[in-house]
Structure 1
Amino acid sequence: MALKADLTALQHTYLRWEQEGNSPFFPVVESNQGNTVTIEPHGDLIMFGSCDYLGLSQHPALKEGAIDAVERFGTNTYASQLICGHTRIHQTIETELSKMAGGRAAILFPSGMSASQGSVSTLASPEDVVINDRLAHSSLFMGSRLSGAEVRTFPHNSMKRLETILRDSADKRRRIIVVDGLYSADGDYAPLDRITELAEQYDALTVVDEAHSFGSVGPGGLGVADHFGVLDKIDVVIGTMSKTLGSIGGFVLTHDWFERELRYMSPSYTSSRGSAPAVAGATLASLRLLETEGDQLRRQLDENTELISTRLREAGFDLLNTRSHIVPVVVGSEDKTVAVAHWLRSRSIIVAPFVYPHVPLGSGRLRVGVSSRHTADECERLITALTDAKREFDF
């Protein structure tokens, strides 16, 4: 009953924001011109709210790849992949991903959420324990519960608590550690160097969701595991095309035996169609761009991130422990967070407001998504607008 009451109160809060004309949620984008989107009634806004970290979603090569794929294969992929398979483009994407990951088996899913949910629910069973970081993505928790395994959690990035749970779970068939590589609301990394050490010590499997880091983090752009040099020690790497790659879809990089199990046994794969040919065409073009331009794009992303993070910290903003292109600007109350996000749109800036239940109550924040495509002038305009908002709303 308490949960139902909380949800009812929450729904009233969201409805109140809508009625006051203050809600920043579900904006309708009329057009997109690079880093600028048109959203009525605000007009043209500089986009600092997306996950398009390398700006590839607007790249001509991805658009051409999508159009070419439609001309070759139409708009649909017929039926479930188990029965009707997928196109040659999908097959090539899996081959490309496998090569990028040093020969690890690759399998495509229709979305990042289905990849996360399907991987964990297939890997674990009632004889196992799944150990989640408390801030891990909701889809990982969904997969954990669907598996029927015992589900344990540890405080965010607490290696001491993780080790205690591993030590106390010696009677389980499998101990499976599940974390994000880069946390989407805080901008910090999982300490995968230490996590893989504990996994080896306690004979545990590791699952890492690199949704916000694949393509944008690490010397090869393969994510936080690549950053720490432990990619070969991760049993299941989950990724998505909907962020850095500028397309849609999910994928898993894993051992050969588990890749076959996913293809035949995971409902989120066997009961789903493959991504549309247009989507696959854009994804393949994106992967090929990363091969030739990825290093340069990541360097520009790092420069923009450093500029914004340094200047905002100097101005007294609380950015938590971010070390990435996800820059959380902590505001505080839900009402104030929403008001600031709405106010920024009147200053031609759009950021992503995160409030309860997506972050803890009273820790509302504006998530700034930095892109390599942002110009120095656009970064300065963001900094100025946020500084003015801080003065206006006193946070």
Structure 2
Amino acid sequence: MSHGDYDVLVIGAGLAGLRCAALLAARGRSVAVWESGDAVGGRVRTDVVDGFRCDRGFQVLNPAYPELRRAVDVSALALQPFVPGVAIRDTDRARRWVHPLRAPRRVPGMLVRGGLGPRDVTALMHWATPALLPTKLKARRGDVAVAAALDRSGVDGLARRVVDRFLAGVVLDDRGSTSNAFTLLLARMFALGVPGLPAEGMQALPRLMAEPIADRITLNRRVDRIVRDGRGWAVSAAGDTARATQVVVATDPHTAETLTGAPAPQMKGVVTDWWAADDPIPGPALLWVDGRPTPSGPLVNTAVISEVARGYAPAGRQLVAASALIGSDGAPPSESVTRTHASEILGVAAAGWSLVTRHVVPEALPVQPPPLRVRQSVRTPDGLWLCGDHRDTASIQGALVSGRRVAQAIDRCDRRSDTAHA
């Protein structure tokens, strides 16, 4: 069965595929998008369970991402921001570090009560200052693992524990093996913007991106074969075949490897538990980390999500989320262990919490080792196109940029072809 011919067939309706397809459609291309799942978004999904909105895995949206502002009207997402800063469970008390640019008047109090001394501040500034020079960060020369960079800057004690555990939740790496340059690019985004959650959940982002091309997207269509067909390609999915001049593979890395042969990077996993609570949980709408010398459990962070985004929980109820990394053995920690750890970090009893859902995401982010490679090839040797965060940086920003890069490259390719045949 043939579905006709297209200029471009995009396989995958994640952020990269949607960005690529929308740009090409806006330029007058005949574009179709085939998505194997039952909704757009790829790894950016939100489940609604008993009135609770639960994003799959630890996900937040930073409005400072430049490509995000190019791709959508961010105001349409009604972002609910976290309080700028981080809350810390220390051995003797709960501490709070504020965002120095967002709350400068509270910095002296943070230095007094936050467990930081002048030496700590100097060391942190020495490590973070290169974030002010993003063009130099993107140069591969001199990049090292973030653990080595923190060592070199003299970041230790409570400051080191908080930075390590906060970053572990962001890049899903608790060994400090991630590129320091990439980490500082993320730190720059945290300095420029306050992360938040869309009022309707993280999946509101891909839904908004899909609106202009909704009639071009077909769900529940898993591609199993791509072969050359003259000057173009024949793409098959469960017996259906379409032909396209250009094919963009915008799937997860391992599916892309199966379809194209392009080697997939190693991936990092996360497990996120969501609990409902009836009793109010005191404290600000901050992300919490365990800053004690010996953490009592595996969590990299936890938060009372309903304090950040009220619409994530039914009226009168609370929603708590907590995330832990999946180890090399692929086994996530048990829910009872993460629940106990979350209650200790937040400083409340968890006896009345009930599990809403658990998301185990074994392939949540590609690794980003040093030296940082900001741009990887978006075309295979035989002429297929690739996009996704594994072709750029391991972030929403990277996924969106990769989609734009492929759209622009196809435009250039078509212009050259038109010139050659003029």
Question: TM-score when scaled to structure 1?
Answer: 0.24
Larger Rg: 1 or 2? Answer: 2
Please state which structure has a larger fraction of its residues in strand: 2
Please state which structure has a larger fraction of its residues in helix: 1
Question: TM-score when scaled to structure 2?
Answer: 0.23
